[in-house]
Amino acid sequence: GPTGVEMAGAISELGRTVLVDEYQRIHASDVRVVLVEMGPRVLAPFRPDLSVSAADQLRELGVELRLGQRVTDVTADGAVVDGELIPSSLVVWASGVQPVSLAQRLGVELNRRGQVRVDAHCAVLGQPDVFCIGDMAAFVPEGESEPLPGLAPVAIQQGQYVARTIRSDLRSLPRKPFRYVDKGIMATVGRSRAVVQSRMLTTSGLLAWLAWGFVHIIYLIGFRNRVMVLAEWTWAYFTYKRGTRLISHLPRGADALPSPHVLAPAPGTRGPGTSSPR
């Protein structure tokens, strides 16, 4: 899915650009990123041609694709893919989301995925004054057999709808059923690489990447947040460096300099502290 594709592209870029520049002992040949997809193609919700484009863009980034295969086991040594052990010290699982266990303790009707079944007004079945939205809700559109996917646009529209519905209830106005408007789907593959599928634009590459960035910035809350994120992304794009950096070791010749030490909290104390330099 989009999460696995975006993560694979980001890790590959990070390992072949930033880490190689920052750590002399790391070489591009040391970085191996393997993306395992049980289905026949990546990004199955997208059109087949966009899936092919995304796969090509991933290969350009050095990502190894294992299509039509599945992970059968994960050990301390790596991941077992159809009986073959792929050695790895880092395994990222991105096969989907699952509702939190709270839903199972509410005593409401659930579907096979553990989601709360809701009616046409996003209300829990049998409890019209209790709403459930987002990943935990199993909202099935009229004429469909499967619930809406656990995506941010779905949750945003449901949240706006429920707010309007509560306002209508306070005014004793009749409720209108929820209608989801599919504005399209998009996924970023890497630097200047993405795919976009919508009613207005269907493309891949640089244009899709710019559209992806524009949409994500627009949906941020607050003008200040938008400006800060835009500045951070622009800096990272042109310099290949992150705005936030951590000092993880002292420079040579600075062994005598004082350094902070994390203190383990004693039983009954308020928590960890940091010693002050002497």
Which pTM was predicted? 0.72
**Three-class SS of residue 264?**
coil
Query: How far is the first Cα of the chain from the last one, in angstroms, to the nearest whole number?
Result: 52
Active site residues: 6
2-95+183-239 CATH: 3.50.50.100
Residues 6+ apart with CB under 8 A from 53: 195, 204, 205
**Three-class SS of residue 56?**
helix
Tens-level pLDDT at each residue, the chain (278 residues): 889 999 999 999 988 888 888 888 888 888 899 999 999 999 988 999 999 999 999 999 999 999 999 999 999 999 999 999 999 989 999 887 777 788 888 889 999 889 999 999 999 999 999 999 999 999 999 999 899 988 888 999 999 999 999 999 999 999 999 999 998 999 999 989 999 999 889 999 999 999 999 999 998 989 999 999 999 999 888 887 766 666 666 555 554 444 444 444 444 444 444 444 43
Residue 38: how many CB atoms within 10 A of its CB? 13
Q: What local confidence, expressed as pLDDT, does residue 246 receive?
A: 62
Residue 120: how many CB atoms within 10 A of its CB? 14
State the Cα–Cα distance between residues 65 and 244, nearest whole angstrom.
Answer: 31
Q: How many CA atoms lie within 13 A of 84 on its CB side?
A: 8
Residues 6+ apart with CB under 8 A from 39: 67, 68
Domains 2-95+183-239 and 102-170 agree in fold? yes
State the Cα–Cα distance between residues 9 and 59, nearest whole angstrom.
Answer: 9
State the Cα–Cα distance between residues 22 and 31, nearest whole angstrom.
Answer: 14
For 196, the enclosing helix (H) or strand (E) is strand 193-197
Tokens representing residue 167 in the block: 């306002």
- The fold adopted by the segment(s) 102-170 is FAD/NAD(P)-binding domain (3.50.50)
DSSP state of 6: H
- What is each CA distance from 7 to 49, 73, 221, 237, in whole angstroms? 21, 20, 24, 17
**Three-class SS of residue 62?**
coil
In the chain, where are the structural domains located?
Answer: 2-95+183-239, 102-170
